[in-house]
Structure 1
Amino acid sequence: MKHFMLSLVCMALFSCNTKAQNKKETTSQETQFPITKTDAEWKAQLTPDEYAVLRHEATERPFSSDLLENKQKGTYVCAACGNPLFRSEYKFNSGTGWPSFDRAIEGNVAYGVDNKIGVPRDEEHCARCGGHLGHVFDDGPSNTTGKRHCINGVALNFVPDK
């Protein structure tokens, strides 16, 4: 009886089919971007942490970014290609441990769907080089856009205003 129940549970789990599994996942590897390099070229240009996040969609540890507490005025640019992505006035403290912004610089961020955790999430990439930045959620400040662009700090460089 025990084996029968275990077999039944296993069959039920393996036969599950969710909408997230049916939804096509769009990644930076499937889209052509204006700046393209070989994997070896990216690996030579980027630090190991930048390479893991920007090219292989890893996530940095929360509260590990030097940019998290940055309060200077300026622009956050892609660490791989220098594309301006976020302005300092868009930044807010989300308490999540990653730099968060209520909006991106229009046209400089590309979006796709990430199903890696079993539920679809809106993934963000640099529109110029395709580098993975993070994800955007609908739980940002309600007095602005209502969006929270949750970005890996290692994917960004900061350029202060002059």
Structure 2
Amino acid sequence: MALTEAATARADVDPARQALLGGSYGGYMANWVATHTEDRFRCIVTHASLWNLDSMGATTDNTVWREALVPAQAAVYSPHRFVERIRVPLLVIHGDKDYRVPIAQGLELWSDLQLRTTVAGHRFLYYPDEGHWILKPANARTWYETVLAFLAEHVLDEDWTRPELLG
């Protein structure tokens, strides 16, 4: 956040038109920022992200996860515990074949956004045939088109344009 504030101090950066994007551990950080910065950003994109640190260790292919994160840390650092603090729209992106950060994390985040926030404009982009990274060319194109459309909607105040490949 200190780097963000330093960049925002530049004359060519509009502090009222900023978004945050993150994937994997960066997605965890995006979720943390979403729950701890109120409306600092206009919107947040979170890809293949950790949401509930309590359940993450039991589902990931990373077998050292449970030993690395003690329950006391999860109680303090799990974004899901602060979902009611989210004040901006999130675009949640997740692949069903993600074994590093299992789809359950993305689905729980999506469910919490629907049930426990009052923010309008959340979106979910689901890939049944992708893993931690979106690798198939048509899927990658849809990823970029969706992210750019979401940013245009919330940062540039443009109308939502559904990516063509989504049908």
Tell me if TM exceeds 0.5: no
Q: Which structure carries more relative contact order (alpha carbon 8 Å, separation 6+)?
A: 1
Normalised by the length of structure 2, the TM-score is: 0.21
Bigger Rg, structure 1 or 2? 1
